[in-house]
Structure 1
Amino acid sequence: MTLSATRRLALLLCLALPGAAAAADYHVQQDKSTLGFTATFQGAPFQGSFSQWHADIRFDPVRLANSKFDVTVDTTSAATGDADRDGALPGADFFNATKYPQAHYLTTGFMRLDGTRAIAHGNLTLRGVSHPLDLTVTFTSQPGGTALMDVTGTLKRLDYGVGGGEYADTSVIGDKVTIQAHLVLSAK
């Protein structure tokens, strides 16, 4: 292949691939986006969400090295729809929100799975404890500089001391918690 043919091929690939431009910084449309979790109590799943959180998103599905997530969550804003559970979550036995009012996730890199999906490698800090956490990211470009991003991952709550002590019995409260987010993004 000649140099000219190589350049033409590269140009065609850039034109054909959505999002092939430089990484975009995105604004999260909070009123259209959700950040939540699914856990189990006595074997039955329940869902919760956080109403107060902030995410700085830079994402380039073609050149993932240019991408970055920096997410801060107000742990006092957790709600599950159950008054007893919602009253306990900010307490010392669970999020200990008085001492640790925020959880923080920061990416360290990305790995491509296919044209729309990637794995975000990062670290989650919760209750002052940090552990690596991988998240599966599905990114869909939309017309007009907007995009949809769905994120999911699983953590073990006891690794972070959430629900320890008398609440450490995993037959009552399951250890695995699935995190999920649906983000509606607009280019900054």
Structure 2
Amino acid sequence: MRMFRSLALGALTAALALPALAADYVQAPGSSLAFAGKYQGETFAGTFPGFRTTVSFDPADLASGKLAVTIPVATATTQNADYDTEMRGDAFFDASKFAQATYTATGFRDLGNGQYAADGTLELRGVRKPVTLTFTWTNGARPLLSGRATVRRLDFGVGGGEWADTGTIPNEIAVSTRVYLTPAP
């Protein structure tokens, strides 16, 4: 019995000494990445079908967290053919030259009340700028990362030239995401 207790105590001590390991996840079906803004005072909204997300998240070890999102900009759609053609063209996403955008973050911050922040980098049209994603994390069989960010489009050259007038299209575009996750293989 004494030997069993010693082995059990040794195993427990070893387990407690291990650092917390973040769980690795990949995006699951049902996820969405959306954007919204205004054009001449009218609200428009769209999505990026085909985006892909990987996350490493442990609320007990936020510093080791990671987030990577790949966004195929040619899939951006508002369900309005005129908007979509213009948006994918040279003045906006220039999808023929810059096929994808990426967002990466290493480490997260606890904002309290179940809110977190990822201070990451968005690369869009060959320009890299910091963008903060604030999000909530819901545990479960299918964890959910639900977040929001604001992207200043002109910082990335999106909507330049005749479209640079912020009276026509404001500079700030709202981005929202709901990413359902599954453990990485």
TM-score by length of 2: 0.85
> 3-state DSSP class of the match of 1:181?
strand
Q: Deviations over 1:29-75 (max 9, x none)?
A: 1x310011111111222111001111111111221012101111000
- Indicate if the aligned counterparts of 1:28 and 1:184 stay in contact, CA closer than 8 A: yes
Q: In structure 1, what is the Cα distance between the partners aligned to 2:113 and 2:66?
A: 18
- Indicate if the aligned counterparts of 1:43 and 1:174 stay in contact, CA closer than 8 A: no
Deviation at 1:117, TM superposition (A): 1.4
Q: Which residue of 2 aligns with 1:170?
A: 166
Deviation at 1:187, TM superposition (A): 1.8
Which stretches in structure 2 are left out of the alignment for 5+ residues?
1-11, 13-19
Q: Which residue of 1 aligns with 2:149?
A: 153
Deviation at 1:108, TM superposition (A): 3.5
- Indicate if the aligned counterparts of 1:75 and 1:102 stay in contact, CA closer than 8 A: yes
- Indicate if the aligned counterparts of 2:25 and 2:181 stay in contact, CA closer than 8 A: yes
Q: Does 1:32 align with 2:30?
A: yes
Q: In structure 2, what is the Cα distance between the partners aligned to 1:185 and 1:54?
A: 11
What root-mean-square deviation, in Å, do the aligned CA atoms of Structure 1 and Structure 2 show? Answer: 1.7
Q: Deviations over 1:133-153 (max 9, x none)?
A: 0110100101x3x21110111
Counterpart residue type for residue 46 of structure 1: F
Q: In structure 1, what is the Cα distance between the partners aligned to 2:172 and 2:78?
A: 16
Q: Deviations over 1:131-172 (max 9, x none)?
A: 000110100101x3x211101110110110000000111111
Q: In structure 2, what is the Cα distance between the partners aligned to 1:121 and 1:66?
A: 13
Aligned mate of 1:67, from 65, 68, 85: 65
Map 1:125-140 → 2, pairs under 5 A: 125-140=123-138
- Indicate if the aligned counterparts of 2:65 and 2:106 stay in contact, CA closer than 8 A: no
Q: In structure 2, what is the Cα distance between the partners aligned to 1:123 and 1:109?
A: 12
Bigger shift: residues 128-137 or 42-51? 42-51
Aligned mate of 2:112, from 111, 114, 121: 114
Percent identical among aligned pairs is 40
Deviation at 1:115, TM superposition (A): 5.1
Deviation at 1:84, TM superposition (A): 0.5
Greater C-alpha Rg: 2
TM-score by length of 1: 0.84
> 3-state DSSP class of the match of 2:88?
coil
Q: Does 1:186 align with 2:177?
A: no
Q: Which residue of 1 aligns with 2:5?
A: none
Q: Does 1:49 align with 2:47?
A: yes
> 3-state DSSP class of the match of 1:85?
helix
Q: What count of residue pairs does the alignment treat as equivalent?
A: 167
- Indicate if the aligned counterparts of 1:36 and 1:48 stay in contact, CA closer than 8 A: yes
Q: In structure 2, what is the Cα distance between the partners aligned to 1:178 and 1:62?
A: 29
> 3-state DSSP class of the match of 1:163?
coil
Which stretches in structure 1 are left out of the alignment for 5+ residues?
1-10, 12-20
Query: Which aligned segments of 4 or more residues in structure 1 are displaced greater than 6 angstroms?
Result: none
